[in-house]
């Protein structure tokens, strides 16, 4: 398979994983308010909200939960935090919102695993 084909397959897999994660979060009572929120500084996979709690969610499709958690490195955290700051600044009720940085791991043949507060700022 060509490099372009591999990238396209990974892109499709990422979209599919994000849709599955969003569905799982909605079933838990969260409202998805953003998908693939992009800024010059970074990207947020999903933004979910329930009341005044906003989840900034990184979605990882990996073979194991440990691999998914290990893939959220320092650079990834900085990228997500920068994008979250920009998103939050654009919200009219930003002063009363609390942010939480979560991970949803998409594992083979399992329901998505939601890991609250995978990192803090």
Could you report the per-residue pLDDT of 33-58, keeping only the tens digit for each? 999 999 998 899 999 999 999 999 99
Residues 6+ apart with CB under 8 A from 77: 101, 119, 121
Which residue segments constitute the domains of the chain, with CATH numbers given? Answer: 3-119 (3.40.1350.10)
Could you tell me which residue, 99 or 7, shows the higher pLDDT?
Answer: 99
User: Whole-model pTM above 0.75?
Assistant: yes
Helix, strand, coil % over all residues of the chain, rounded to 5: 40, 35, 25
pLDDT of residue 96: 94
Could you report the per-residue pLDDT of 56-103, keeping only the tens digit for each? 999 999 999 999 999 999 999 999 999 999 999 999 999 999 999 999
């Amino acid at each position: 398979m060509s490099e372009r084909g591999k990238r396209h397959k990974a892109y499709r897999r990422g979209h599919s994983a994000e849709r599955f994660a969003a569905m799982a979060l909605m079933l838990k009572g969260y409202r998805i308010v953003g998908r693939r929120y992009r800024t010059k500084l970074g990207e947020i996979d999903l933004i979910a909200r329930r009341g005044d709690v906003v989840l900034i969610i990184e979605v990882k499709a990996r073979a194991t939960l440990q691999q998914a958690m290990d893939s959220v490195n320092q650079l990834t955290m900085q990228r997500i935090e920068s994008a979250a700051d920009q998103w939050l600044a654009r919200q009219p009720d930003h002063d009363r919102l609390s942010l939480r940085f979560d991970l949803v791991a998409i594992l083979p043949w399992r329901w998505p695993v939601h890991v609250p507060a995978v990192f803090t700022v």
